[in-house]
Amino acid sequence: MAKGLIWATAEDLARNKGRVLSLYRQILRSLNSPNLPLNLAARLSKKAEVRAIFMVAAEERSLHNVEDLIDTGEYALSLLRKGEIPKYIDRGSNY
């Protein structure tokens, strides 16, 4: 992502589309893991939160913010794979 200086161009966004879709699918699949301490209702709720986060983030046009969002998603995925619920998704935990 270096074509636009500050704001993402259509080319920048197209270049990241596959990466973002893959990340989105992996996060949704990871929420089905039996290692997570979630019942069915909680899993569905978390999936809805993930969908909402990605829908809002889809409107982002700042190159730096897009990269930060991708990094955050990859970090959240790494925690989910360890059987932990990331704090930005888990509203019930004590911050």
Say whether pLDDT at 4 is over 90: no
Give the C-alpha separation, 62 to 82, whole Å. 31
- Band of pLDDT at residue 29, cut at 50, 70 and 90: very high
Residue-level pLDDT at 7 = 80
Residue-level pLDDT at 95 = 40
CB count in 10 Å sphere of residue 15: 14
Q: For the chain, how far is it from start to end, CA to CA, in angstroms?
A: 33
Residue-level pLDDT at 31 = 94
Per-residue burial over 49-76, b = 16 or more CB atoms within 10 Å of its CB, e = otherwise: ebeebbeebeeeeebeebeebbeebeeb
* Mean pLDDT to the nearest integer, 4-10: 73
* The overall pTM is greater than 0.75: yes
What share of the chain in percent tops pLDDT 90? 47
CB count in 10 Å sphere of residue 31: 20
